[in-house]
């Protein structure tokens, strides 16, 4: 009898384990898994239309599946649906950043590159449509935007074909030197002239979120101008050609045609000072930078109090990726400051004039403040392509040794009226 009872008990345990195991499996399964798995298999077999349909069905049930978004982007890329591919590469990157644990099937830098490549394909096809409609000026602007983002070898043929259809006066590209710098009148010249005006008056400086940002105070500043965009590779190339100054590290990587409108980085504080002097300008003070970034209403970010998204700023990437981690200046219309300055959050850290003092916000004057006369480190502001969202706050202060030439450090200039 005891043996029979033991057998019944063991059998009951086995049945229970089986039931529980099935329950665990059922719990582990996620909605859409079947469709997503089918879509992945169809993608491997290069049945792209069928893969797209299956993946879209799976994502409708599980919209947070990172692998699913990436696979759908790959299917759309094969089908030359560039908008769909860009959307789902972007969704995969966004979800991956939010998860805190990388689940992308390829290196993040590679996915970023694919996303930007899709954007360029979309622009090239839009330019083709505009030319067919007789909208020559809009087509030219679209082609210029595509070129700023970077034309791949595969895209070069279509790009040149479309350029050739522009009237001769419009189709001739700016002449470039062998090193990629622009000769004569160029986009760099026009960018130098583009500054925004910040009128005299008070603004709300500081925040309660970090000790070196306290206290929140009303600060008065005289009027000033500040560059609308961060100084670009193209602008810096022109400066180096004119002055024969020392090139920053990895200059041969940065100074390529596809990077001319991306911010220059790897520059020290002194490099930034020298450039601004050459351009007839100066570095902004820390207070000027903060006012230009956030206006007078004490907002958290240049665009307001809404948490950052990929429509606002370039941030949260992991690899410099031969300068492709930085985006062309002015890419984020939704992220500009109240005065119209772009990229004051993300893309490149920006050197300002002041020495860093942890307690300066507590002890400094409330009219036209400038940091201490000396110190060990200078201030950089605005966050960069590499850093998380908290560094994008307009009040966030960061300090760096003035000789640092890191691939996150850039700048913009200011000017007194």
CB 350 within 8 A of CB 377: no
Q: What is the DSSP string of 51-62?
A: HHHHHHHHHHH-
pLDDT tens digits for range 349-405: 999 999 999 999 999 999 999 999 999 999 999 999 997 888 999 999 999 999 999
- Cβ–Cβ < 8 Å for 208, 217: no
pLDDT, tens digit, for every residue of 244-287?
Answer: 899 999 999 999 988 999 999 999 999 999 999 999 999 999 99
The residue with greater pLDDT, 175 or 76, is: 76
Looking at every residue in the chain, the average pLDDT score rounds to 86
Please state, in angstroms and rounded to a whole number, the distance separating the CA atoms of residues 19 and 335.
Answer: 53
Residues linked to residue 224 through DSSP beta bridges, in sequence order = 198
Q: Is the separation of the CB atoms in 91 and 114 below 8 Å? A: no
Q: What is the mean pLDDT of residues 70-93?
A: 92
Q: Which residue has the higher pLDDT, 173 or 368?
A: 368
Query: What pairs with residue 349 in β-bridges?
Result: 409
In this prediction, residues 291-311 reach a mean pLDDT of 95
The long-range contacts involving 92-98, CB below 8 angstroms and separated by at least 24 positions, are 92/66, 92/67, 93/310, 94/309, 94/310, 95/64, 95/66, 95/69, 96/66, 97/316
Q: Which of 254, 247, 231, 255 is nearest to 181 (CA)?
A: 255
pLDDT band, very low/low/confident/very high, at 313 (cuts 50, 70, 90): very high
DSSP 185-230: S-HHHHHHH-EEEE-SEEEEE--SSSGGGPSPEEEEE--EEEESSP
At 269, list the tokens: 């504080």
Sorting pLDDT into bands at 50, 70 and 90, what band is 21?
A: very low
Q: In what order do the strands lie in the sheet with 378-381?
A: 398-400, 378-381, 349-355, 409-410
pTM (two decimals): 0.68
SS3 41: helix
């Amino acid at each position: 009898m005891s043996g029979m009872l033991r057998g019944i008990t063991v059998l009951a345990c086995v049945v229970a384990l089986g039931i529980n195991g099935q329950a665990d499996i059922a719990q582990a399964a996620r909605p859409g898994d079947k469709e997503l798995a089918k879509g992945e298999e169809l993608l491997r077999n290069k049945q792209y239309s069928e893969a797209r349909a299956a993946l879209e069905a799976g994502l409708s049930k599980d919209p947070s599946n990172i692998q699913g978004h990436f696979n759908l982007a790959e299917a759309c890329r094969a089908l030359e649906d560039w908008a769909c591919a860009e959307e789902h590469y972007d969704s995969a990157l966004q979800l991956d950043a939010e998860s805190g644990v990388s689940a992308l099937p390829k290196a993040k830098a590679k996915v970023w590159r694919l996303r930007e490549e899709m954007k360029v394909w979309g622009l090239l096809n839009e330019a083709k449509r505009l030319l067919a409609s007789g909208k020559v000026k809009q087509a030219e602007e679209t082609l210029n935007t595509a070129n700023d983002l970077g034309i791949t070898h595969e895209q070069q043929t279509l790009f040149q074909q479309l350029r050739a259809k522009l009237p001769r006066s419009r189709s001739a590209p700016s002449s470039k030197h062998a090193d990629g710098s622009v000769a004569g009148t160029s986009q760099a010249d026009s960018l130098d002239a583009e500054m925004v005006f910040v009128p005299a008056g008070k603004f709300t400086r500081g925040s309660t979120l970090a000790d070196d940002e306290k206290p929140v105070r009303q600060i008065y500043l005289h009027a000033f101008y500040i560059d609308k965009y961060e100084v670009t590779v193209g602008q810096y190339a022109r400066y180096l050609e004119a002055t024969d100054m020392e090139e920053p590290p990895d200059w041969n990587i940065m100074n390529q045609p596809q990077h001319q409108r991306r911010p220059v980085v790897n520059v020290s504080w002194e490099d930034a000072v020298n450039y601004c002097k050459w351009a007839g300008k100066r570095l902004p003070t820390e207070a000027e930078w903060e006012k230009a970034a956030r206006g007078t209403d004490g907002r958290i970010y240049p665009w307001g109090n809404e948490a950052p998204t990929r429509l606002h700023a370039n941030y949260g990437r992991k690899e410099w990726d031969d300068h492709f981690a930085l985006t062309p200046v002015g890419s984020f219309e939704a992220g500009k400051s109240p005065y119209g300055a772009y990229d004051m959050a993300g893309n490149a850290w920006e050197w300002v004039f002041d020495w860093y003092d942890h307690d300066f916000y507590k002890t400094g004057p409330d009219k036209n403040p400038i940091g201490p006369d000396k110190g060990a480190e200078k201030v950089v502001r605005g966050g960069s392509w590499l850093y998380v969202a908290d560094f994008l706050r307009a009040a966030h202060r960061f300090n760096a040794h003035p000789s640092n030439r890191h691939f996150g450090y850039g700048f913009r200039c200011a000017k007194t009226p």
